[in-house]
Each structure stands twice: as C-alpha cells, then as structure tokens.
C-alpha cells in the first residue's frame, strides 16, 4: 500500500497540515520540524500524488533555472552562460526568480512534480533539505554558490576563500597594512571573509572586526557606509569591497569627501564586471568567470540527465591589476 501524507504526519509526530506546509513551503514550520518531516519522507519513501503521476519515462523537454534574480551584472552573466550552453545543445529552458520577496511555492511544485527534467538552482531561498528531497535520477539538480553533497546533486562554485586570500596577499605586496572591508552576507560573503581573515593573519594585516562593514552587496549602501565610516575618523590605507558594485559606491563616496583614489586610499573589488575597467580610476579587482560558471553548470546538468554521476566543480579566479591601488613606497 502506498504511503500517504497521513502516514508521514503520524510518523513525524506532527499534523497533516504541517507536513503540507513543509513540503510546499506555504506556512510557518520550524527548522527542527521541517528537518524531521523531510527525514520521515525519505525513510517512508513518500511520493506526493502529482509527483507520482509524472515519474514516468517520458521527458518534459525543459530544464529549470531558479535564481535569486534574473538580471544584474552577476546573475545576468551566469544566465548568459547557461543560455549559451543550452542553445548549443538545442535544449529548452524556463527561468524563474526566487528572491526573498517571492513565494517559491510554484517553484517547489515544478520540482516536486517533475515538471522539468533537471534544474539549476542559484538561490538560497530553496533550502538544502528540499533540494535533497527533490533531486533524483529523473530530475538531477545543479546548485551554484553553495556546498551540497547528495545523490543526483552537483555543486559548481567559484573559489571564494582563495580569491579573498589572494587579495590579502596582494595588499601585503603593496606594503599596505590598514584594511577596511565592505562585506555582504550569505555563502559568498562568509567564504570571502574567511579567506581574507586567513590572509590577514598570514601577512600581518591590520583589519579590526569593526572595520568589516556590512554594505549589503549594493552600490548605494556601500556609498553611505563608506561616508559614515570615514566621518568617524577612520582612515584605512585600502578598502576591500566584496563586489565591484560596492567598490564603485565606495570610490564615489571617497571622491565626494575629496579623498583621492588611490593616492589617499586604495580600493579593490571583486567580480570584474564590465564597468570596473572604465571607471575613474579603473578598478583593481578579482575576475570571477561568471559566464563560464553558467556554461559549466548547464553542461554538468545535461551530462547528469544523460546518466553521468554528480560531481563537485570549483572554478579559480585571477587578480586584475588596474589604477585603484597604489604601492606604499614609504615603507
């Protein structure tokens, strides 16, 4: 006899509605209960009716791309890479935004009921336990910018820790020591901060905790945060912004306060977006292969759909030296 949602609820010690909320992301469920429900679903082998109907050998003909955003310099480049690879293979795709303001119920349903033949996920809004539950031989998944080891799930990411470590090494090579950071949260932010902290310790850089300022990945926030920071009397020799948008806001703020970049304060970014080469001054930054990230994610998914095993792929970066940093010859 087929396992029912009632069986799951009884085994997990929760109500049927709570199980439904957890599976569909449609209501408040604590992380502890959600984890217990997902474990029970796996143990009992529960398959929702809609999913069971579509677990046939036929293919739907589409893959799904679900991202925090579908536009902007970073997400746009990744999407361009995915489209390039899909076009080369004659593969149709659908894309949907699942940022913090979106209801992801419809996206969960697309995956849960196997309405796509595979998926690329570039959003933290779809949690690991849901990815683990949904990924299977008929619908493999590739996740970007997160670490996840599970059957039928591949991880493709950029080496954030090493990238930030190289920035610290480069700052040391310029004889600069006093460093402030404009940081962002999430997977990327945590790993970049960890890598830079390792470099700061290795090379004796001076970067106090209070000099690591959350600027939300946005140019406007970075502009305002930089002005507040400098007006408190802080004067770093270099500011490391965790993406180029924040670096752009930082440079504008410094210039508006009549500080010269790089003569008074050097600035380093990360991503190497198009505008970084044409800013004044042009931005020293870390090139992240974003288009290649999308291409490799798409290629990996198509290979998994043909029966290849899941894998973990890490892409390396390179430091691009431009005009926004200057060596301190006085030391």
Per residue in 180-196, pLDDT tens? 999 998 899 999 999 99
Reduced to 3 states (helix: H, G, I; strand: E, B; else coil), residue 248 is: helix
> How high is the pLDDT of residue 1?
58
Give the Cβ contact number of residue 224 at 10 Å.
14
> How high is the pLDDT of residue 49?
56
Query: What is the pTM (predicted TM-score) of this model?
Result: 0.80
Residue 312 parent element (H or E): strand 312-315
Q: Which residue bears the tokens 């949260």?
A: 185
Q: In Å, how far from its chain's centre is CA 331? A: 38
> Which residues have CB under 8 Å from 74's CB, separation 6+?
243, 271, 273, 290
Structural contact between residues 230 and 239, judged by C-beta atoms closer than 8 angstroms: no
With a cut of 70, which residues of the chain have pLDDT below it? 1-2, 24-27, 47-60, 99-104, 112, 331
Q: In this predicted model, what pLDDT tens digit does every residue of 165-183 receive, in sequence order?
A: 999 999 999 999 999 999 9
> How high is the pLDDT of residue 311?
95
> How high is the pLDDT of residue 28?
75
Residue 151: exposure state from Cβ atoms within 10 A (0-12, 13-18, ≥19)? exposed
How far, in Å, CA of 122 to CA of 297, rounded?
10
Count of all residues that appear for the chain in the document: 331
How far, in Å, CA of 53 to CA of 56, rounded?
7
């Amino acid at each position: 006899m087929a396992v029912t949602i009632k069986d799951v609820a009884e085994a997990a010690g929760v109500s049927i509605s709570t199980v439904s909320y957890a599976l569909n992301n449609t209501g408040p469920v604590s992380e502890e209960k959600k984890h217990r429900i997902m474990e029970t679903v796996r143990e009992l082998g529960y398959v929702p009716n809609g999913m069971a109907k579509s677990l046939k050998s036929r293919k739907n003909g589409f893959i799904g791309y679900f991202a925090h955003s579908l536009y902007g310099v970073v997400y746009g480049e990744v999407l361009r890479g995915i489209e390039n690879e899909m076009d080369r293979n004659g593969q149709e795709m659908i894309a949907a935004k699942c940022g913090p303001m979106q209801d992801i119920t419809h996206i969960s349903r697309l995956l849960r009921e196997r309405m796509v033949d595979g998926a690329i996920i570039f959003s933290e809004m779809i949690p690991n336990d849901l990815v683990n539950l949904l990924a299977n031989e008929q619908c493999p998944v590739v996740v970007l910018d997160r670490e996840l080891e599970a059957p039928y799930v591949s991880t493709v990411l950029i080496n954030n820790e090493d990238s930030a470590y190289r920035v610290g090494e480069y700052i040391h090579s310029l004889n600069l020591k006093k460093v402030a950071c404009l940081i962002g949260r999430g997977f990327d932010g945590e790993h970049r901060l960890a890598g830079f902290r390792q470099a700061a310790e290795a090379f004796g850089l001076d970067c106090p905790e209070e000099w690591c300022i959350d600027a939300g990945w946005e140019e406007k926030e970075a502009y305002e945060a930089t002005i507040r920071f400098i007006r408190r009397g802080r004067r770093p020799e270099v500011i490391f912004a965790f993406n180029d948008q924040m670096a752009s806001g930082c440079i504008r703020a410094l210039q508006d306060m009549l500080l010269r970049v790089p003569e008074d304060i050097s600035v380093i970014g990360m991503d190497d977006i198009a505008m970084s080469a044409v800013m004044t001054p042009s931005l020293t930054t870390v090139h992240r292969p974003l288009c290649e990230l999308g291409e490799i994610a798409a290629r990996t998914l198509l290979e998994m759909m043909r029966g290849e095993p899941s894998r973990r792929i890490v892409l390396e970066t390179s430091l691009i030296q431009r005009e926004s940093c200057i060596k301190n010859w006085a030391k």
